[in-house]
Amino acid sequence: MLTFEYIDDDASLTKLVAQYRQSQLLVLDTEFVRTRTYYARLGLIQAYDGKTLALIDPVAVSNLAEFWQLLTVPEITTVLHSCSEDLEVFARNGNCQPFKLFDSQIAASLCGFGHGLGYGKLVEQTLDIVLDKGESRTDWMKRPLSEAQLNYAANDVYYLYNLYPQLIEKLEEQDRLAWVFEEGERMTKDRLTPPNLDQAYLKVKNAFQLSPKQLAFLKVLAKWRLQKALSRDLAVGFVVKDHALIGLAKKQPKSNNELFNMTELTEQEKRIHGKDILALLKTADLDNPPKAIDVIALKTGYKSSFKAIKNCLVAIAENKQVSIELLGSKRHIHEYLQWLWDGKVTATPLLLTGWRKGLVETSLNELKLSNI
């Protein structure tokens, strides 16, 4: 049974933060609930500096501002495991990102433990301890939290603090510690930038199927949907589904009868949003429609070029003992190919930046790719 402090008032938090400010290392985790909401609902924050393990109740504490400020202290390394969703929580609730971020999942990958390793597996491999994950699907907004829930939450930072030195040792042996912090900088970049409403249509599934004129309709619909989602804190799919937006952009109903005859929309969507949708469709800028979406996978020579790059990266990954998923994923290869097709005038692709560049640039430059 781990010993921890349960922080549920402002005075206790102030005292805790003062202690943590003296630390160079702060291990964090968050527990949250996300079902129908756009933003995750923060239920618990776990923190450990090697001296005090604290479970901070964000439902009870009225102001967490001083805690969030800890993440921005240059002298403090923030340690998290598989932190993408935690970073969303920090951005939403604290309007901040860790200044110096160490993601133990990425570190484990670079150490050779395997890509995408879960926290429990990493603890088992490094500390030979099997954790009980029985509370992983718990409701973290419900109060009071049970003893089992609190102990489960405490485990998530206690053992991470204890395995951290092993990861550091292995990374330093391979001269890869800087790579982890570089990945941390990349992951936190632009997290505080609000969603681009005018670009929301690009995230609608199958938008590439539409003509420029149809995209003009989709653009106003997707912008409206995202505004609704943000204002109501509702997942976009619970406003109107993607396939319904595509159907509206294709059919462009001009009357209630035309809209209510559409099978792509649910009866509830028609009833709640029908009037707004008809009005929105009239605002589409057909004189200045978006460009057709360029689908890289449909380009001539894509398959052979992708395969050549993938084979090249796999060989490098095996030689350097780096997981191929981390070195060059499908998305990274797409980005690189798009950059080539664009004449190398757009933003430098990830494969040619930072630690990846040193590993792959020469080999990629030697490839003879078709139709590029």
Active-site annotation, residues: 29, 31, 86, 152, 156
Nearest to 29 by CA among 103, 131, 94, 92: 103
Q: Give the max Cα distance, the chain.
A: 69
Helix, strand, coil share of the chain (percent; to 5): 55, 10, 40
The Cα–Cα gap between 330 and 317 comes to 14
Q: For residue 68, which amino acid is it?
A: W
Side by side, which strands form the sheet with 25-33? 5-7, 53-56, 41-48, 25-33, 77-80, 101-103
Task: List Cβ<8 Å contacts ≥24 apart for 332-339.
Answer: 333/306, 333/309, 334/296, 334/297, 336/309, 336/364, 337/296, 337/302, 337/305, 337/306, 337/309, 337/372, 338/294, 338/296
Asked if residue 57 lies in contact with residue 69, where contact means CB atoms within 8 angstroms, the answer is: no
**What would the two tokens of residue 57 be?**
């109740």
Helices and strands: H and E segment counts in the chain: 15, 6
Q: Which run of H or E residues covers position 167?
A: helix 147-173
The Cα–Cα gap between 260 and 76 comes to 57
Query: In degrees, to the nearest 5, what angle opens at C-alpha 356 toward C-alphas 350 and 358?
Result: 125
